[in-house]
Structure 1
Amino acid sequence: MAGNSDPLTPRAKIAVTAGKAVAAASRAAGRGSGSVIGGRVALKLDPDLLARLAQNLDVVLVSATNGKTTTTRLIAEALRAAGPVVSNALGANMPAGITSALAGSSEARYGVIEVDEKYLAGVARDTDPKCIALLNLSRDQLDRAAETRMLAENWREGLAGSKAVIVANADDPLVVWAASSSPNVIWVAAGQMWKDDAWSCPSCGGVMQRPGDDWFCGECGFRRPTPSWALSGDHVLDPHGSAWPIHLQLPGRANKANAASSAAVAAVFGVPPQVALERMYQVQAVAGRYDVVQFQERDLRLLLAKNPAGWLETFSLIDPPPTPVILSVNARGADGTDTSWLWDVDYTRLSGHPICVIGDRKLDLAVRLEVANQQFQVCDNLDQAVQMSPHGRIEVIANYTAFQDLRRRVGN
């Protein structure tokens, strides 16, 4: 717990100081927050630094393909009811960024940490978490992360026998498979709109049966566990059967699901659902996501969608036709360079919306929209797309680096 004897060795203190200096220099040079480069330098000087920084904290790890940044924010808000929190709130979710975030606070009692799916097992080893939240697994960055089944296997092996309480989505078969190796799991019925990555059983490869909201493998008997927490409309049902209203400023069903998982995590730390959910209302936007900004005398709502599951959820958020939509797709290193996932997205859901297409891979997206019989215009940049969009608030949907480009352009 915080307040114990100082866990940092002289070497660790030098590493923290050097990391902060490098991060400050990076910020001064206009190269972003500096958290990643600062963390890399610090870990070079003391490879055990992450473990040292975490040892006086009650740590929560949050991992998923979609929703981890938002859920990390919601959990952090909820746990502030019980004490000071340190968190990598800006989404730098690999070991260097996590180390940098934890080095920024010596007073915290709780560490709420978003972790990239590939690094979860290693970060769990280093930080000895009290709780791990597993939300979903779906196709993302195909060239980088291989297939979802391999990621689920990595999670399963890495978390086997973990002392942590695992809070896991009972509706995602891949998450259930990954969490089932752990002795202490709290199942949450958080829902799953995107099912196309879990038609075969992760346990035996058999065909998954999906009657209604249930699922099971007809061959080996692997099945959906009975949840103790559940999202039910606009309420969270707790293990005692009480229904707690969800009031969020963040839009959509996916964020209600994130709130349900966050309430289950908060309860592990003794924060009651009512208190946790009330505090979650404070979160208005997460690293620019869902922000409404003024640009060229127009209102633009910025929405992030990085993969087929994320695009499906995002389409359910946007205002009905004829609301104009701008789509922006890049394929840089942080996005994954393989854009074949565009063919897995159902763009017929955009029928009736005037669409403008921008981004490095706008022509890939244009071909996809053409096949989906959508009406669209290809534009050179955001400025031109806004000028060509009809009146009304514009929904702007972008993948990861395209989203960062948009934020810089609109000054967000």
Structure 2
Amino acid sequence: MTQLPLRAQLASALGRTAATLSRATGRGDGSVIGGRIGLALEPDLLSQLARDRRLALVSATNGKTTTTRLITSALQELGDVATNAFGANMPAGHVSALASAKDAPYGVLEVDEKYLPAVIDATGAGVIALMNLSRDQMDRAGEIWLLAQKWRRALAGKNTHVIANADDPLVAWGASTAARVTWVAAGQPWKEDSWCCPECGGPLDRKGVDYTPPGGHVAGAAPLAMVPRPVEDDWACRECSFRRPQPSWFLDDDAVIDPRGQRWVLDLQLPGRANRANAAIALATAEAFGLPVQAALPRLREVRSVAGRYTTVERDGRRARLLLAKNPAGWLEAFDVLDRSLPVILSVNAQGPDGRDTSWLWDVDYRVLRGRPVFVTGERMLDLALRLDVANVPFQLVASFEQALAAQPPGKVDVIANYTAFQQIRAEFDRAV
């Protein structure tokens, strides 16, 4: 790799030192402070650190951290990979990630949806993975249609290969100006933010159609039944020509079908449909780097947890599985992996990183929680309690997560928390990963 200019070397070194001190003093993992110091000394540091690397950027409302981890795991088959593993997804975090692995020829960076255009310009990344867009922190990020529009403008005229979810109309619209797009049928369980055409404003029809994936059975892959099947996520505008693009990759229940028609059973350790969708995007992204599925998939299967998500922690005979849900789409994903036989602890805050407005709680259908013990805690537990009461879900208010866990009998319990509540719980268990 090309050696950095002296000023950039100094900025990078001082940033790494600050990050090390932050970790040593227990003030954090250093993934933000190091980058802030580096950028203060050299504003162009991100561009200089990105130079001569093959980079993938990963952006979405949900699943960014997990998909970044999956892609990183796959690309480690090719060599060292720089990545922001703990979700510091703004430029300061990107600087810290690249500076801490200055000789890595590859980089995979999770990027906040709002910052994606600036990071594309700064890094010149050759591959960009886009998965979904739904309402989240609207007091900070604004309407998601505007985010899709910013993506669309940022990708226009760029020599970039985009891996995009064809089933999300906003993502499809945002990605469609890119020079090259690989479309993945990854699904869109949460559809409440995309009933209108982003191109003309007309209504979207979401009618299932029949399709047969391309290709046929190939030696070494699971058999592919070549029969028509419903596409639940097909969509088209009634009033203009905008419609779902034709995918070349398909998520098919517990497997992924690649562009050659090979069906690969995922067999992930990460639970739920959302993570199978993340894996489909990750495999398509790995192939964009020249890594075939048969080399990438075994590495995806090794991933057990991501920055504390899906981790099981234990205290006094109680085993708590930690699930992150920070918006309506995320709660839907968390409900998908709940063990219906277990009690569940819910914790909600409304700090800056969460978004101050908790009105989104009313968009979540909590009736799935009926019939099990439900414990509610967090700084905004009364907001959640009112929502559960309206949904006729019995619950018990608890002053703290520690008390909620202590109220459980020995055994397993599921925990769903939004962002800062999740981080507080992780801190109680020494930031389990």
TM-score range relative to shorter protein = over 0.9
Query: 23-32 or 151-160: which moved more?
Result: 23-32
Alignment of 1:203-218 (within 5 A): 203-212=199-208, 213=232, 214-218=234-238
320, 327, 341: which is aligned to 1:307?
Answer: 327
Letter aligned with residue 308 of structure 2: G
CA distance in 1, matches of 2:20, 2:288: 36
341, 355, 371: which is aligned to 2:374?
Answer: 355
- Segments of structure 1 that go 5 or more residues without pairing to the other structure are none
Letter aligned with residue 429 of structure 2: V
5, 11, 14: which is aligned to 2:2?
Answer: 5
Residue 25 of structure 1 and its aligned partner are, at CA, apart by 2.4
Q: Which residue of 1 aligns with 2:30?
A: 34
1:407 aligns with 2:423: no
SS at structure 2 position matched to 1:199 = coil
Q: Which residue of 2 aligns with 1:167?
A: 163
**C-alpha contact (below 8 Å) 2:134/2:193 kept by paired residues:** yes
Alignment of 1:300-379 (within 5 A): 300-321=320-341, 323-379=342-398
1:396 aligns with 2:415: yes
Q: Which residue of 2 aligns with 1:156?
A: 152
Alignment of 1:169-188 (within 5 A): 169-188=165-184
CA distance in 1, matches of 2:70, 2:295: 12
1:202 aligns with 2:198: yes
Q: Which residue of 1 aligns with 2:140?
A: 144
Query: 58-67 or 375-384: which moved more?
Result: 375-384
304, 309, 314: which is aligned to 1:294?
Answer: 314
CA distance in 1, matches of 2:414, 2:240: 45
254, 268, 281: which is aligned to 1:248?
Answer: 268
CA distance in 1, matches of 2:157, 2:79: 28
243, 252, 258: which is aligned to 1:232?
Answer: 252
SS at structure 2 position matched to 1:316 = helix
CA distance in 1, matches of 2:320, 2:387: 24
Letter aligned with residue 235 of structure 1: A
**C-alpha contact (below 8 Å) 1:69/1:114 kept by paired residues:** yes
Residue 388 of structure 1 and its aligned partner are, at CA, apart by 2.5
Q: 1:171-199, CA deviations, whole angstroms, 9 ceiling, x for partnerless residues?
A: 00000000011120000000010000001
Residue 282 of structure 1 and its aligned partner are, at CA, apart by 1.3
CA distance in 2, matches of 1:350, 1:390: 19
Q: 1:102-152, CA deviations, whole angstroms, 9 ceiling, x for partnerless residues?
A: 001122111001000010011011111110000000000121110110111
Q: 1:336-376, CA deviations, whole angstroms, 9 ceiling, x for partnerless residues?
A: 10000000000001111210000000000000000000010
Letter aligned with residue 220 of structure 1: C
Q: Equivalent pairs: percent with the same residue?
A: 58
Q: Which residue of 2 aligns with 1:381?
A: 400
CA distance in 2, matches of 1:119, 1:312: 25
CA distance in 2, matches of 1:217, 1:297: 54
Q: What's the TM-score once normalised by structure 2's chain length?
A: 0.92
Residue 383 of structure 1 and its aligned partner are, at CA, apart by 2.1
1:279 aligns with 2:299: yes
SS at structure 1 position matched to 2:57 = strand
Letter aligned with residue 24 of structure 2: A
Letter aligned with residue 338 of structure 1: D
Residue 389 of structure 1 and its aligned partner are, at CA, apart by 3.0
CA distance in 1, matches of 2:128, 2:310: 26
CA distance in 1, matches of 2:250, 2:189: 15
SS at structure 2 position matched to 1:267 = helix
CA distance in 1, matches of 2:409, 2:153: 52
CA distance in 2, matches of 1:391, 1:25: 39
Residue 390 of structure 1 and its aligned partner are, at CA, apart by 4.7
Residue 391 of structure 1 and its aligned partner are, at CA, apart by 5.3
CA distance in 1, matches of 2:313, 2:110: 26
**C-alpha contact (below 8 Å) 1:168/1:179 kept by paired residues:** yes
- Segments of structure 2 that go 5 or more residues without pairing to the other structure are 209-231
**C-alpha contact (below 8 Å) 1:138/1:148 kept by paired residues:** yes
Letter aligned with residue 131 of structure 2: L
Q: Which residue of 1 aligns with 2:223?
A: none
CA distance in 2, matches of 1:106, 1:60: 16
Q: 1:48-86, CA deviations, whole angstroms, 9 ceiling, x for partnerless residues?
A: 110111112100000000001000000011111112111
**C-alpha contact (below 8 Å) 2:317/2:411 kept by paired residues:** no
**C-alpha contact (below 8 Å) 1:324/1:390 kept by paired residues:** no
Q: What's the TM-score once normalised by structure 1's chain length?
A: 0.97
